[in-house]
Amino acid sequence: MADKQIPAVSNTGDTIEPAKENTASIPATGERGEKAAQFLAQHGQVTFDYEEEKHVLQRIDRRILPLILGAYFFQQLDKSTLSYTSIFGLIEDANLKGTEYSWLGSILYLAQLVMQPLAAFILVKLPYGKVTGIAIIGWGSCAAIMASCTNFKSLAALRFLLGTFESMIAPSCVAVTQMWWRRSEQTLRNSYWNAMNGVTFIVGSLITYGLGHIKSSKIYTYQVIFVFCGCLTVLFGLTFILLMPDSPMEAKYLNEREKIIAIERLRANQMGVASRKWRWDHVLETFMDIKTWLWFILTIAISGGISSFGNLIIKSFGFSSFTAILFSLPTGCVQIVSIIGSAYLSTRFARKGLIITCLSCLPATGAIIMLTVPRENKGVLLFGYYLVQCLGAITPMIFTWSAQNTGGDTKKKTSSGMVFVGMCTGNVIGPLLYSTEQAPTYRPGLIANLIMFVLVGAMGLLIPLYLMLLNRRHAQMREQLGKSAVIIDESMLRKKNMGSSKQAELEQNEHAETHKLEDDNGLQDVSDLKNEDFIYVY
């Protein structure tokens, strides 16, 4: 059995020259083993070097990343059409009264909340590519059909269906990121597809600005927006089904050797790839896992109603509808910079909790500005609003933090489902904190959001303490099993210290044997709490 050498690609996405060739060992397959382990067992022993692994990573980035970027972009675009159409007569033309507009924002997330358990089950049992592609076509169709809705009841029904299909996309993007990239590569990749929220602000605002000039006595402006965005989404959904592989083992665009390399490089994650087996013990562990509930609370606190009321808030500063649309463009730039920038800092310093706390200070400051500055100071109010939009960087950080600290196929899906239930719960509650009757100051909603931003900052400092405790427990478990208490997490090593860290580990444990695949819990569908080799990241 060949030794497993130092990985040729670091988890930050940086590449290094390995001291030796990297060898994939022949795995033993078991009843609960991963499909990845079974695949490697069938294909035997393969040796690959740095250049080959770099080539495979580039091919993964070129094919998989654009597809999940597009999927998340169209999800955000269709979901945001409600905000775009709100300033082009939707409220008046559809006769929306009181909190009915707020409920149109909440009901989409209510549908996503209800559908998360089913989404988690589907993502374990069925192929990712086909399931996600069908979901994209489904919500695109719903968005287009909303053009025929001219009252609250019909709009609410279509928004619920829209949310039902969209419940698949964010968990699917997280699952795909876990399936294709190493742990430290995941932070930046997750930030890229989450940054599509900011791209949507820019592109969606420009599209709406153009479509808003279409005048017709037979069709409302908001109906034009619905039809255009929905039909565009359906076309992308068809493309997604054709091009998106269901797993590295089933990627037709990779040859057999490239598939093996794509799988082998994920072993250090200790998270698994895909099992297609639903395990109820993983479900039970998810609900008993304290850290899952901590992230659940965190996502509730950061999910607010400002997104649904964004354009109305800008308009309340004293701008016209078209000017409000144009001033929403910088919102997208703020989100793109804050999401990718915070992901880079998180990868650079390996401290997600601290980054989340720092990020929460920005929307808190923005909320205070909007609550205290007089309405005639439009520039200052806009600055405060843009600061609040930095909250968009916190949600993807939570997604990544949760995903990187969860092992086992079923547990990964159910844990992600719990986090998204928290997000949906927050987004159901969030729009209800606001009402069109609060215009122009929207003071009650802003105060509620400010309190939540402070809570998020506090939790960003507390959660790492619990993760440190779990790492100590795992070190004790390793000692009891006769292993070294101190191990090196290869999935999170940086280029500059990978070689020295590996050498230090070998010096500390001279008699340690390198992992054989049959002894590697990472590809045996073992949950993180039961895998003593799993290392939690802060």
Give the three-class secondary structure for 15. strand
Are the C-beta atoms of 182 and 265 separated by less than 8 Å?
yes
The ranges assigned to domains in the chain are: 52-56+64-470
Positive or negative torsion for Cα 149, 155, 160, 165: positive
Tell the residue number behind the tokens 């992992």, with chain if given.
515
**First-to-final CA distance of the chain:** 34
Are the C-beta atoms of 135 and 240 separated by less than 8 Å?
no
How far apart CA 179 and CA 122 sit, in angstroms, is 16
- Give the pLDDT score at 349: 86
Give the three-class secondary structure for 329. helix
- Per CATH, the homologous superfamily of domain 52-56+64-470 is MFS general substrate transporter like domains (1.20.1250.20)
Q: For residue 444, what is the enclosing H or E element?
A: helix 443-480
Residue 152: how many other CB atoms lie within 10 Å = 16
Are the C-beta atoms of 307 and 200 separated by less than 8 Å?
no
Provide the token pair at 380.
Answer: 């200052």
How far apart CA 168 and CA 321 sit, in angstroms, is 33
- Give the pLDDT score at 272: 57
How far apart CA 285 and CA 184 sit, in angstroms, is 25
pTM above 0.85, yes or no: no
- Give the pLDDT score at 11: 36
Q: Using the 8-state DSSP alphabet, how is residue 439 labeled?
A: T
Give the three-class secondary structure for 22. strand
**CA-based R_g, the chain, Å:** 24
The CA-atom distances, in angstroms, between 239 and each of 104, 137, 174, 493 are 30, 10, 20, 36
Share of the chain above pLDDT 70, in %: 81
Question: Residues 146-172: pLDDT tens digits?
Answer: 888 888 899 999 999 999 999 888 888
- Give the pLDDT score at 274: 62
Write down how long the chain is: 538
How far apart CA 368 and CA 355 sit, in angstroms, is 21
- Supply angle C-alpha 108, 417, 339, rounded to 5: 75
Q: What type of residue is 150?
A: T
How far apart CA 103 and CA 411 sit, in angstroms, is 32
Give the three-class secondary structure for 47. strand
Q: Which residues contact 391 (CB under 8 A, 6 or more apart)?
A: 302, 304, 306, 359, 360, 362, 363, 453
Give the three-class secondary structure for 489. coil
Q: What type of residue is 482?
A: G
Buried residues in 398-431 as b, exposed as e (16+ CB within 10 A): bbbbbbbbbbbbbbbbbbbbbbbbbbbbbbbbbb
Are the C-beta atoms of 268 and 490 separated by less than 8 Å?
yes
Question: pLDDT tens digits for the chain (538 residues)?
Answer: 333 333 333 333 333 333 334 444 434 444 445 666 677 667 665 677 778 888 888 999 999 999 999 999 999 888 888 877 777 777 877 788 877 887 887 788 888 888 888 888 888 888 888 999 999 999 999 999 988 888 889 999 999 999 999 988 888 898 899 888 888 788 899 999 989 988 887 888 788 778 877 776 677 777 888 899 999 999 999 999 999 998 888 888 888 888 888 888 777 666 655 666 888 888 899 999 999 999 999 998 887 667 666 667 777 777 777 777 777 778 888 889 999 999 999 888 888 999 999 999 999 999 999 889 888 888 888 888 889 889 889 988 998 899 889 888 888 888 888 888 888 788 778 777 877 677 777 888 888 889 999 999 999 999 999 999 999 999 888 888 888 878 776 666 544 444 444 444 434 443 333 445 555 565 677 888 888 888 898 8
Q: For residue 24, what is the enclosing H or E element?
A: strand 22-24
* DSSP string computed for 107-171: HHHHHHHHHHHHHHHHHHHS-HHHHHHHHHHHHHHHHHHGGG--SHHHHHHHHHHHHHHHTTHHH
